[in-house]
A and B are shown apart, each in its own frame.
Chain A
Amino acid sequence: MKGQKKSSTNTNNNKVVGKKEYSKILGIDGRHPLQTKVPEMCVMYQVRQRPGAQVAYFNFDLAKEMGLIPDNHQAQLTSKLQDALIETFSIVIINEWDIENKKTFDSKTIKPNKYMATRYLQLQHASKAGKTSGDGRSIWNGHTQHKGKNWDVSSCGTGATCLSPAVSIHEKYFKTGDKTVSYGCGLADFDDALMAALMSEVLHRKACPTERTLCILKFKDGTSINVRAGQNLIRPAHQFRYLKSSNHSDLKALTDYYIQKEQNNGNWNHELKKASPYEELLDIACSDFAKSAALFEREYIFCWLDWDGDNILASGAGILDYGSIRQFGVFHKEYRYDDVERWSTTLLEQKSKARYIIQTYAQMADYIITGEKKHIKEFQSHPILKKFDDRFSHYKTVFMLTKIGFGIEEAKTFINKNIKLTKHFEKLYEHFERLQTASGTYQVEDGVSSDAVFCMRDILRELPKLYLAKQEVIDAQAFVDIAKSEFAKPQDLKISSSRKRNIKSFQSAYLKMISQLAKEQGQNIDRSLLKITMRSSLINRPDFLTGNGVIRVAHFLVKDKKGPRIKELMNLLPKFIQHQVEGTTAVKQSEQSEQSQKDMRAIIRIVHEHREDI
């Protein structure tokens, strides 16, 4: 506590605080260019201040990147910064139910501008044409610019909109907070917000494209407002809605807006190679979706992709809406999320869904260019799909090499020169990676799953260390002992002659690749192994954060009596994120309080316990 008081005083002395300092935060006030560019996609809501908010988390790094706070701002939540965040983001919409029921609110609490919920396609709505679907419990707070980059800001948990599935199912509006409809109540749970903040920031730091959490506001009833930011929060589902409904003018307006924004943000930093920007868009989307689908498969990221183009960002095919996002510790091949009326895709099915999204992009580009909407089936042999397959395969190999411990550029160069060797290894790698235990498919908390026999992270982490100590292949039993997952039973681990052969081939190909890498880089194989060891030890860390891991961590942070208090979260979360990405923590730092060290140790223990989980 002494430390906190001292820091607060220092901040005041540095004159960092003050309303003017936070004018950029306060300037996020509901206005957004889409409201004039494509008004049809916006459902506008008057909003009012929601009382009782407490800032539980603020992403200082992201806020600096967005220019919301100065670069030299200390990572201290001063009372004035807290006030600015609450004033800007602690809002709730005055929705259709409020109006129908003639609810009145203190005019002083009502914000001057209206805020938008956006319409997009969602497969869970009965109308598959997007007539009723979109942001069900979110609104867009607005946008901001900094150093040539445009940022969109949206919040989850700001009230029940008319676009939630509950409204279309029950054909009536809902009061915000109505507990009879969970998702449709318009509010968000605090632990969900924490999970999203942790997972998204960890993935972002690992170069996975994603929206990020800017701020979490917590309320006494256990609900929260989760403020997210990204450079372009448009989803393919926004565009596909207009395609489905054959609304050419709005589709073109939205796509033009999207392209312009991507160009302004420097995401289209190459010269236009195609005659039409829509063809260029198709080509870029093809690359982005192939890359993300490959990353999801290699890194066991479960992201429910489907024909509607929801649950993913158009820009960079990044992750958004962390409700069902998971990262597995091992290859849980048959995991499916149970969404009551339908099952999600599995890890291996994500590729075909991403491919279908690209097919839809091809249909969309053609429609915009020709003005004539052709049937989606006419695009099933479109050349872009071959390109998608090639790029997917390329990136999957790249990401396998980076998982081994190659640098990204190193991996690309290596593949170009050694495609046969790399593909040979990849085949062996996938053989071990995808073997499932004899237990088969079984029910889990939110769906069904099956378990991998081997934990590839373990073998990829341990092998280079072993070869550094002695460049000799290890015997089959030692290999199995290292690589076996916690789910494998003795019958899964029998060493048959073919398994013995595969283990030998795996190691031989691995060593050949490292040896080839060393040769190409003009260095001793030990040096290459040393680099690989360092990278692999971090990438394939034994305390890897999985979906269930993050759920349990959030539970500990929010509900466990032994868990940290809300004030301590602000320090703890960035430390934990740093630990996951860089392998360093507050545990070592003597200036951290004993409680903080205890909390961090408890979190790491939880993460470790769930390291191979879904």
Chain B
Amino acid sequence: MNIAKTFKMSLVLYSGGHYFENLALNKKCMDLSGRRTPKVTFIPASSDYGLEEFREFVEAWDKIKNCQFVYFPIDYQYSDELKNRALSSDIIFLSGGNTFYFLKHLKENGLMEALATAHQSGRVIAGLSAGAILMTPNINTASFPSFDCDENFVGIKSKKALNFVNFEIFPHYIHSARYRSALKTYSQKSRNGIYALPDGTGIVVTQQSLEVIGPSYLFLNGHEHNMSKVLRNDVQTFCPVERRRFPRLTDTNF
């Protein structure tokens, strides 16, 4: 089983936290673009508070490298011209917010296909929290556990997402009994492995590798696996950045 799809890919999945708390992942995005001055399109999950997020995003990214920024809110009418221009950037960043609301507007505006095209043409697609969930096969992890989930106030029925990778992620993970229990239960039903990522951590997927940045947990068939322990090279266990080849996603590895 492949980790991700077969075409050229550069994907960065952030768990959450402030943009300035994700410096390693931010830098990863920039490096993957291969540009000296990458053009970055920021797509907020909602135009409401989107600007606030964009400001913080620009501030954090500016500290690392000179970038060109494009702001592309999608939940109100926009022109095809803007869509075409925005999706031709080197990096396309999907922000955090309500996953259901975000997915609804991506679907309604035909952006699922457009993002898939951008992805296949080698652009870096990155997402934080809701934005990261959207890059996986479905958005199931947005709807549990009941004490920490997004409200489906838009009444979206299909939870199918962009399916750029064949694992799921659970952002903002807190390593506690109740979260663990919820994830174990879900992983028994899901065909995919689920990465539970605390804030400030993330996953970088390229055609050749999958890197886990920071501590993470993998839930598979009702079991939890601490990825820091599973991965062989323990030297960087306590380092904020772990750069590892990812083992195949089967239970036999553990």
- Distance in angstroms from A455 CB to nearest chain B CB is 11
B33 within 8 A of partner (CB): no
In the complex, the 4 A-B pairs of residues with the closest C-beta atoms, listed nearest first: A469-B85, A542-B76, A478-B81, A469-B70
What are the residues of chain B within 8 A of A597 when measuring CB–CB? 151, 153
A470 touches B153 (CB 8 A): no
Known: A478-B79, A481-B79. A584 touches B52 (CB 8 A): yes
A583 engages B41 (CB within 8 Å): no
User: For B153, what are the chain A residues with a Cβ–Cβ distance below 8 Å?
Assistant: 597-598, 601
Is A469's CB under 8 angstroms from B86's CB? yes
- Compute how far the CA of A216 lies from the CA of B69 in the bound complex, rounded to whole angstroms: 44
Is the beta-carbon distance between A468 and B78 smaller than 8 angstroms?
no
The answer to whether B79 touches A469 (Cβ under 8 A) is no
Q: For B69, what are the chain A residues with a Cβ–Cβ distance below 8 Å?
A: 468, 526, 530
Q: How large is the interface on B (under 10, 10 to 19, 20 to 34, 35 or more residues)?
A: 20 to 34
Residue from A482, A534, A583 in contact with B49 in the complex, judged by beta carbons closer than 8 Å: A583
Partner of A469, one of B41, B73, B151: B41
Q: Is the CB of B48 within 8 A of A587?
A: yes
Q: How many residues of A contact B (CB 8 A)?
A: 32
Chain A residues with Cβ under 8 A from B78's Cβ?
Answer: 462
CB-nearest residue of chain B to A470: B85
CB nearest neighbor in A for B78: A462
Complex alpha-carbon distance, A542 and B51, angstroms: 13
Residues of A within 8 A of B79 (CB): 462, 466, 474, 478, 481-482
- The answer to whether B151 touches A594 (Cβ under 8 A) is yes
For residue B54, CB closer than 8 A to chain A, the reply is yes
Q: Does A579 contact B (CB under 8 A)?
A: yes
| CB interface residues, A 562-589, toward B, < 8 Å | 579, 582-585, 587-588
**Is A402 located at the chain interface by the 8 A CB criterion?**
no
Given known A469-B70, A533-B71, contact A474–B48 (CB-CB < 8 A): no
Q: Which residue of B lies closest to A587 (CB)?
A: B48
- Cβ–Cβ contact A465 & B97, under 8 A: no
Residue contacts A-B, CB under 8 angstroms, 23 given: A462-B79, A465-B86, A466-B82, A468-B68, A469-B70, A469-B88, A470-B88, A478-B79, A478-B81, A481-B79, A482-B79, A526-B69, A530-B69, A537-B71, A541-B47, A542-B47, A579-B48, A583-B49, A584-B49, A585-B48, A587-B46, A587-B49, A597-B153
In the complex, which of the residues A465, A474, A587, A601 contacts B71, with contact meaning CB atoms closer than 8 Å?
A465
Of residues 139 through 185 on chain B, the ones whose CB sits less than 8 Å from some CB of chain A are: 151, 153
Instruction: Determine whether the beta carbon of B54 is less than 8 Å from that of A465.
Output: no
* Cα–Cα, bound, A338→B87 (Å): 49
Query: Roughly how many angstroms separate A534 CA and B44 CA in the complex, as a whole number?
Result: 13
Q: B residues touching A (Cβ–Cβ < 8 Å)?
A: 39, 41, 46-52, 54-55, 58, 68-73, 76-82, 85-86, 88-89, 97, 151, 153
Given known contacts A465-B70, A601-B153, A585 and B81 CB-to-CB distance under 8 angstroms: no
**A506 vs B71: C-alpha distance when bound (angstroms):** 22
CB distance from B100 to the nearest CB of A (A): 13
* B82-A465 in contact (CB<8A): yes
Instruction: Evaluate contact between A468 and B52: CB separation under 8 angstroms.
Output: no
CA distance A584 to B54 in the complex (A): 12
CB pair B97 A588 closer than 8 Å: yes
Complex Cα distance A54/B39, Å? Answer: 55
Residues of the A chain whose Cβ atoms lie less than 8 Å from the Cβ of B89: 469
Q: Knowing A468-B71, A469-B85 touch, does A537 contact B51 (C-beta < 8 A)?
A: yes
Which residue of B is nearest A608, CB measured? B76
Residues of A within 8 A of B76 (CB): 542-543, 608
Residue of B nearest to A594 (CB): B151
How far does the alpha carbon of A91 sit from the alpha carbon of B253 in the complex, in Å?
A: 78
- Output the nearest chain B residue to A468 by Cβ-Cβ distance: B70
Asked whether A215 is an interface residue with its Cβ less than 8 Å from the other chain, the reply is no
From the candidates B39, B68, B81, name the one contacting A474 in the complex (CB within 8 A): B81
Say yes or no: A583 contacts B51, CB within 8 Å: yes
Query: Are A465 and B51 in contact, CB atoms less than 8 angstroms apart?
Result: no
Q: Closest residue to A582 on the B side, CB-wise?
A: B52
- The reply to whether the CB of A538 lies closer than 8 angstroms to some CB of chain B is yes
Given A462-B79, A465-B82, A598-B153, the answer on whether A526 and B68 have CB atoms closer than 8 Å is: yes
Q: Give A592 Cβ to nearest chain B Cβ, in Å.
A: 11
Give A560 Cβ to nearest chain B Cβ, in Å.
18
Q: CB distance B54 to A534 under 8 Å?
A: yes
- A37 to B36 CA separation, bound complex (whole angstroms): 71
Given contacts A533-B71, A598-B153, 20 further A-B contacts (CB under 8 A): A465-B70, A466-B82, A468-B68, A469-B70, A469-B72, A469-B85, A469-B86, A470-B85, A474-B79, A474-B81, A482-B79, A530-B58, A538-B51, A542-B47, A543-B48, A582-B52, A587-B46, A587-B48, A588-B46, A588-B49
Judging by beta carbons under 8 Å apart, are A469 and B52 in contact? no
- Chain B residue contacts of A582, Cβ below 8 A: 52
Say if the beta carbon of A47 comes within 8 Å of chain B.
Answer: no
**Chain A nearest Cβ from B132, distance in angstroms:** 17
Chain A residues near B73 (CB, 8 Å)?
Answer: 537
User: Does A604 have its Cβ within 8 Å of any Cβ on chain B?
Assistant: yes
B203 to chain A, nearest CB (A): 24
- Closest CB of chain B to A593's CB: distance in Å? 12
Residues of B within 8 A of A587 (CB): 46, 48-49
Docked complex Cα distance between A444 and B72 (Å): 36
Q: What residues of A have a CB within 8 angstroms of the CB of B49 in the complex?
A: 583-585, 587-588
The smallest beta-carbon distance between B61 and chain A, in angstroms, is 12
Task: Report the Cα distance A328→B55, complex, angstroms.
Answer: 28
Kindly provide the distance from the CB of A113 to the nearest chain B CB, expressed in whole angstroms: 47
Residue of chain A at shortest CB distance from B54 = A534
Q: Check if B41 sits within 8 Å of A534, measured CB to CB.
A: no
B55 and A466 contact, CB distance less than 8 A = no
Q: Judge whether A466 and B81 touch: CB under 8 Å.
A: yes
Shortest A353–chain B CB gap in Å is 36
The chain A residue with its CB closest to the CB of B41 is A469
B71 proximity list for chain A (CB < 8 A): 465, 468, 533-534, 537
